[in-house]
Amino acid sequence: MSEFDLNGRVAIVTGGGTGIGKSYSEAFAQAGAKVVIADIAAAEGEQVAGTISDNGGTALAVATDIADEAKTLNMAAAAIDAFGSIDILVNNASLMSTLERRPWHEIDVEEWDQVMAVNLRGMFLCCRAVYPQMKKQQSGKIINISSSRFWLGAPMRLHYSTSKAGVIGFTRSLSREVGDDNICVNAITPGFTESDTQLASSTPEYLAQSAGRHKGRAFKRAQLPADLVGTVLFLASDASNFMTGQTINVDGGESMH
């Protein structure tokens, strides 16, 4: 079905060299898209791009700190120089796995500001960087990765939860501002996903606690990065061309709205 076809599309995935972002990058390549892996972890981004190329796909790694405006502009320019367009932006990069879980009143002001700089300003800068090209094309798909913490009111990482709530407000407002340019802006709220970075940063006690939450889901198993891929590809495709400003929750039925 042609509306699901991503062959030849150019997709930028921020944080695309590690964690869940790596799964997005690989899925886009398998779907025929040309992938720009924009990750502050430069070596990991290069490795993913190399693997994609070795498997017959097309990928470019661009070292990118999304909180740095110049780096996001370079990200967009590199995509255009290499592939001639920008059709899809997945705002996946965020500051999370390195954050200690602790009560809200113990969060340092500097750490709060750093989380907002990456998770909100970074998303804003990436959207601004790709917007001129998408406006010129009169088409584009922006997919913002939020978190099911928005629905749950999950404690112990208040700055992260607040930033991910901001993603949804950003998504709704931006969708109205770029609708006349035929750009779709949507968000996804993943549940606790057992990516390699999440597992590496979680204590055995926290993982056991998270496993107990499976009982409250409609699907009583762990959520894996692969569980998010289909929703991202759908929002990137023409099949979702009349959807914008929406938030799709993908958490196995833990939260329903």
Q: What is the DSSP letter of 57?
A: -
- List b or e across 210-230, with b for residues whose CB sees 16 or more CB atoms inside 10 angstroms: beebbeebeeeebbebebbbe
> At which residue do the structure tokens 């405006």 appear?
69
Catalytic residue among 24, 131, 160, 206: 160
CA dihedral angle for residue 143, residue 147, residue 150, residue 153, rounded to 10 degrees: 180
Partnered with residue 36 across adjacent β-strands are 12, 60
Which amino acid is present at 201?
S
Does 160 qualify as catalytic in the annotation?
A: yes
Partnered with residue 11 across adjacent β-strands are 35, 88
141 contacts: CB under 8 Å, gap ≥ 6: 87, 88, 89, 183, 184, 186, 235, 236, 237, 240
Q: How far is Cα 209 from Cα 214, in angstroms, rounded to an integer? A: 9
Q: Which residues are catalytic?
A: 160
